[in-house]
Every structure is written in C-alpha cells, then in structure tokens.
Chains A and B, each alone.
Chain A
C-alpha cells in the first residue's frame, strides 16, 4: 500500500527535510504546529498544516492524542515521527498503528526492546554483539564488588545500578583504591536513587563514538550503510559527525557492520535505525562495544546519504509502505567523505548555554558539495521552547581534507546575527591539528577547550562596520531601536 499523504509529527529542519522527500515522491505532506509555530518554515514547506496545541512541547509535539487526531482528520495514511519528540516512544508507534496509520519507523515491539538499557544489552549479547564487560554482582558486600571488579578487568567504573548522570560513579584503576571507592559509590547511590545497589563496568578510556546506520524491511532483510564517527561531542551531544571514520579500517568496518546488522535482526527491526558503539583503539586492533540503539532516523543521517548516494527518508517511506529494501548490501559503497556540522544557537564561551533571540541576519552558504538542512530563516525568532539547533551544514568532498576545507569555507560565509552561535567554534574544531589528524576521542572538546574558544579581537574594519551600521541601519537588518552616537555603542565588546 503506497503512502499518499504523510503527517510529519515534528518541527524544524527535520520536518522541512521530510516534506522535501514528500514533494519529490508526489506524497502530500501534512505539518503539525504549536501556537508558537503557526508561520514556521516547516509549516510552509508542507501542503497542509494542523494545529496540535500550545507552544509547550508537552501540549503539542508530544501530545499523542492530538497528533493522531490530526492524522485522522487530515486524511493522512502514514505518520513520520522525525527524531526527538515522540520518535522513540513505543506508545506513539502503537497509537498510530491502532488508528490504522502506517508508522514510518520500527514496530512498537522493537522500540520497546531497545528502549530498556538492560533488556537491550541482554538481547544484543545473545546476538553475539560485544557489550562493555560489566555485572551487577548478587553479592553486594565490599568483597563481592571487588570480586566483580577483578572479573570485569581494570580499570573499572563502579556506579549506581539504579541510575545515571554520573551520580554514585567512581573510577578504580586497580585494586588498591577499591576499599575507598566502593563505600563512597554505595553512599552516593543510596543518597541519589534510594538504592545502593552497585554495577561494575569496564572503563573504556578515551573511546570514540562510532555508529552504524542500519536499514531493515518487513521481509527479513537488513543491510548497513557504514559508519558515522560522532566523537566530537559536548555534554553528550554531538557537534560534528563524519563518514568514513578516520579510525576504521576495511576489516574493522566489516566487523562492526555485521554486528550492527545482527543486532537489528535480533530485535525484529524494520526501517532506519542506528547502532551506537564505543570504539577502544583504532584500526584492525580496535575493539568495539554496543552502547545503544537509536530506533529512528538520526540528526546526522545526511552524512550517510552523502557518502552512499542514497535518500534515507525516501527509503523509509518505501519500506514503511511494505516495499523491499531498495539496496542489497553489495550495492552499497562509501564514496568520498562527508562531514556534518551542527549549528546551534548557543554560547560556547559560557558552557554552551542555549540562546534565544531574533535572527536579524541569517544567510546560508551554498556551493559545490555543500548541503544545508535548516528550519529557520532571517527575521524569525529562535524560540526558547525548542531545540537550539539552527541548521546542519553538510560538506562533502573527494577525501577527508577536501570535505574539511569545504566545511570551513562554507562556515566562514554563514552569517547569523542576533543570537550567539557556535559557528566560530566549529571552524576552530575543523582547523584543530588533532582533528585534522583524525585523532578525536569523545573527550576532544574538553581536552582542547581553550584552543577551541579562541576568538580574534575585532579588527579596524569590524569596528568601522559596527559604527557604520549604527549610523545607517539597513531596512532589513535593523531592529526598531534608533541609531545613536556610535561612540556610545563601542564601549566594550563581547563575542
């Protein structure tokens, strides 16, 4: 059954990108919007639009009842969840299928199976995919935890079995520090979660974050579309993603790809998904461990599209409608190199604090090998209610250095004024010698933060332009405030 009308249960750049795939396929796109988004780009990118609630996400983009109703009343036959919001809620997938709608994603059972960390780990282990060695010992005495630490192998992480967020977490590099760290971890776990049960896990030091794109259809076929290296992260959020990974060799790539396909088949997966791994070391000797599965389309999917020459959203709609996978594994190759930079409204110098405000100037760069996926535009306001990602800039080239050079050149011509952004920070990452060398672990940003925050003082030309802008505001780029004495406004500058 072909999809004729698709409700896009999301907002921002991903909703715009899905609407583009619809246009290309001749599928009608139905947008949903909150009161904050009535005139947003994703609404105008669609053929129809339905209001689902007030600005607060809980009442609009997370409102399962309102969204399923919108799909029904608009006559949609399918729902695409995008990423974030409801995309990994089994209850939403189930509500869609119960309403007779095609859910463009995996079955609710697969979302459920991979949503539980412990359940997913067990399932994955049974499929023969390596997981980070660890255990929750039945004997929770100091001696029992110590025995578990020796069995798992040092260095180990001793952490609360009940929760995350770094609470109740201790690193032990050898047996000598256990006497102190076990009781401390237990006390913290008890205080934070009301449960002092401890979990002991091998500490993977300075890992890389490598993920494999997988795709499965309803006919029992699954393929992988190679890796994305997402090691450049801050606060566990990805900033730059690329493919191929500088750390992988063909042999390691093949092992990781096969493991990812096995994992997808093990949970009865369908549609696009991503298996995230931690990689210890690099090259043929690298060891990888299952981290988690993302049961949806990823933010960074354009990286894979660029190097494989595929359209993952198009394939998602095809497979969701019951079609067979459009590719066999042997059809898929990586060609050249692609890098995605996430442009955020945030202040890197201030702990990457998200920023809201007006986009007084917003001009996307263009040119060979440059793709910009965005859901914002000049004159709009970056709202406080939603994710501060403004755009994704994807640069591709015949090899890694060419892709980096294109990304740098494009970012240097990506003016965004009115809110602080991470554009200069991204340029500094791409130009950093360690990044150029492909020597990037998940600690990269913390390791090099001072270098990455470096910013030049304003030049004469910049100061002259600032003074000029105040003297003669342009029609489009000036907010209502009147221009005044330029000298008054040159007192102190920030960045």
Chain B
C-alpha cells in the first residue's frame, strides 16, 4: 500500500488499484526507462521523464525548476547547505499529489527562490546550485 495525497495505491501483479474515497480504479502500469505507461479505462497514458538534454549529471549545478504549475508545500534547505544525491529539497503539490523534489546529485545550494505556499510556474528556477 502506498499513499499519495488522498489516493491509496496498491499492486497485484501488473494490476494497480487506486482508491480515493469510495472509488477504486483498476489500472495497469509498466516502466520502460524514462517512460511510465499507465492504462486506465481504455486510455493509455504515456508519462515521460525529461529529455536527456535537460537531465542533470551526477553533480548538482545550475538550477532546479518545476515542470508544471505547482504549489510549494515546504522548503527543506537553505542557501549554503550541502546536499547529497536523493535528498529531498522541496515538496511540491500538483494534481493533488505531493511530490518531493530531490537533489539530482551532490552539491551546494546557492539560493532558494521560493517559499511554502508559493504557486510556481514551469521553468522558473526554484533552487540554484553553485
């Protein structure tokens, strides 16, 4: 069982079930590299990771941004902090789901450009790295 916001998700083989209140949705999901496929009610969703060109290397540098309009739930680092790969930096909420923004690599935070409650737009820098 796994929870994201008010949606509970669990798996039986290839089948996934998502419960939101009384509604239970049956889905299928599969992961292939950067693409996550989800089938629900006759529709297949192809959910893609960022293109290779935008992917960061093992070191955090440059900046991190949100790919879609989202609300900042919390900011867990401050300028000057040293972060390690995978560390949660910011928690965003979009599509009624909480999603952690994690450090794509080791690095040092130069500036934080948002605060809890902010509505942030795509491609606006949230955190700059040294």
Contact = CB atoms under 8 A, between A and B. Distances in A.
B47 A417 contact: no
Given A417-B44, A470-B36, A463 B31 contact: no
- Identify which of A418, A461, A472 gathers the most chain B CB atoms within 10 Å of its CB: A461
Given A470-B31, A477-B31, A455 B43 contact: yes
B31 A468 contact: no
Contacts, number: 184
A109 to B, nearest CB: 47
A491 B34 CA distance: 10
B81 interface: no
Nearest to A458: B45
Nearest to A491: B67
| Interface hub of B29, B31, B40, B48 (most chain A Cβ within 10 A) | B31
In this complex, which of A363, A421, A487 has the most chain B Cβ atoms within 10 angstroms of its Cβ? A487
A460 B44 contact: no
Interface size band for B: 35 or more
Q: Which one of A414, A420, A477 has the highest number of Cβ atoms from chain B below 10 Å of its Cβ?
A: A477
A417 B2 contact: no
Contact of A487 (B23, B28, B102): B102
B34 A485 contact: no
A462 B100 CA distance: 18
A466 B29 contact: yes
Interface of B is mostly: strand
Given A470-B36, A489-B36, A361 B28 contact: yes
Interface string A353-391: 000001011010000000000000000000000000000
A189 B110 CA distance: 68
A472 B50 contact: no
Interface string B1-27: 010111101010110101010010101
B48 A417 contact: no
A330 interface: no
| Tier of interface size on chain A | 35 or more
A478 B31 contact: yes
A417 B29 contact: yes
Contacts of B62: none
B36 A472 contact: no
A461 B28 contact: no
B63 to A, nearest CB: 14
A461 B42 contact: no
Given A468-B16, A469-B38, A481 B44 contact: no
Given A412-B41, A423-B42, A466-B47, A489 B13 contact: no
State the 9 A-B residue pairs at the shortest beta-carbon distance, nearest first: A469-B29, A360-B30, A491-B67, A412-B42, A461-B18, A415-B39, A417-B37, A479-B32, A477-B30
Interface of B: 2, 4-7, 9, 11, 13-14, 16, 18, 20, 23, 25, 27-34, 36-50, 55, 67-68, 86, 92, 95-97, 99-102, 104
